[in-house]
Chain A
Amino acid sequence: MKTCLIVDDSRVIRKVSRHMVEAIGLAVEEAANGQEALDACAQAMPDVILLDWNMPVMSGIEFITRLRASPGGEAPKVVFCTTENDAAHIREAVQAGANEYVMKPFDHETLQIKLQLVGVA
């Protein structure tokens, strides 16, 4: 079973996302900020990471930059999942190494297709 790390400081969002991702057939781990997520990745790289933008401790962009620079950090697919919804933010994320981008709100269909597009669903 493929694994998904959900990185979001909101417990509610993590819960909702977990529900959708598990329904798509992935095993889910959670992290409440970028540092926790880096620690989790150092333990075991997930197949895909759903990543929020604005979080305490470390922003999503800082996280992905550090992830991509770390050993094995090229491997996970990263899907930003955020309320930042303008083209400038989206380009910035892609430049930092994001594979896909989902703007909140989204539905099951949208997330499933994004996960298919990055090859994990």
Chain B
Amino acid sequence: MSAQEDSISYRIIADLLEARTGQQIDRGRRWRIPTTLATVFRKRGISNVDQLVCLLASPGEERLADEVVEALLNNETYFFRDRAMFDQLDDHVLPTLREKRAMRKRLNIWCAGCSTGQEPLSLAMLFRSQKALWDGWTIDIVATDISSKAIATARRGIYSQFEVQRGLSVTQMLTHFEETPEGWKVDPALRAMIRYRERNLLEMMDPDQRFDLVLCRNVLLYFDRPTRSRAFDIIHKTMADDGWLMLGAGETASSLTSRLAHVPNTIGLHQPVGLMPAKRQAI
């Protein structure tokens, strides 16, 4: 590692991102900062991180910090990412919830860190593919992300050719999207199943909210351990006692919180601790 990545300017940028979002850029990855910020540099006519830090300190540049944070966030996502995990929802989680919520006929779902919307839309497609099973139900999907750009894209619901085919079968693409001059536009009825909100997941949601299912996938990866613990506690508070949390394929809450336990034999599924062992749905 060169001394440059260890310099005060690189640290200031990394600290800015962490303070705003919880996301860390450890020293081994700091060399990427200038490449990631290339567009910001070009727009401002600057060429290095030191100049950026000077600009950030100048009066009238309050918006610049927002731009830098936006650019540093990794928004990588695609439809039905890790399909096996959606199969788990289909095979185990949704049938269980359908039984348990049969009286209320309502499901509250939260996608935390939804990026440009591919994840909540995948969920919406899943429900739509089982339309008969959910007849008369209210499926409320709240999808949040800290990136205002990502949320704006998600709200718009128009995807490039590259994005639309990433993860979808040709049938799903033709069924749920319409080709328009601006790109592939998602079926408005599908889009209407989702409420998008710009929000930092480290800030508490509505305290009365009780989600039956929370997806928080590939978001907490770059939080340090204390911040991840905090995130799990916040998520736990928003969950129904018998609700489910689905993390990313390689992620776990074990050893970071005592409130959530990994459901044996599943990829990334967690439930609140305190459920009677017999009641917890081992798969």
Contact = CB atoms under 8 A, between A and B. Distances in A.
Interface of A: 85-87, 90-91, 94, 98, 100-103, 105-107, 109-110, 113-114, 116-117
B170 interface: yes
A102 B179 CA distance: 15
15 contacts: A87-B174, A90-B173, A90-B174, A91-B174, A94-B170, A103-B161, A105-B162, A106-B162, A107-B166, A109-B167, A110-B162, A110-B165, A110-B166, A114-B165, A114-B169
Interface of B: 78, 80, 83, 161-162, 165-167, 169-171, 173-174, 178-179
Contacts of A86: 179
Contacts, number: 41
Give me the 7 closest cross-chain CB pairs, A-B, nearest first.
A101-B170, A87-B179, A110-B166, A117-B169, A103-B161, A100-B170, A85-B161
A100 B166 contact: no
B165 A102 contact: yes
B187 to A, nearest CB: 13
Contacts of A107: 162, 166
A114 to B, nearest CB: 8
A120 B169 CA distance: 14
Contacts of B170: 90, 94, 98, 100-101
Contacts of B174: 87, 90-91, 94
A103 B165 contact: yes
A106 B78 contact: no
Pick from B165, B166, B178 the residue with the most CB of A within 10 Å. B165
Contacts of A101: 165, 170
B167 to A, nearest CB: 6
A113 B83 contact: yes
A19 to B, nearest CB: 19
A7 B178 CA distance: 29
Contacts of A116: 83
Contacts of A102: 165
A87 B80 CA distance: 21
A113 B162 contact: no
Contacts of B166: 107, 109-110, 113
A93 B236 CA distance: 48
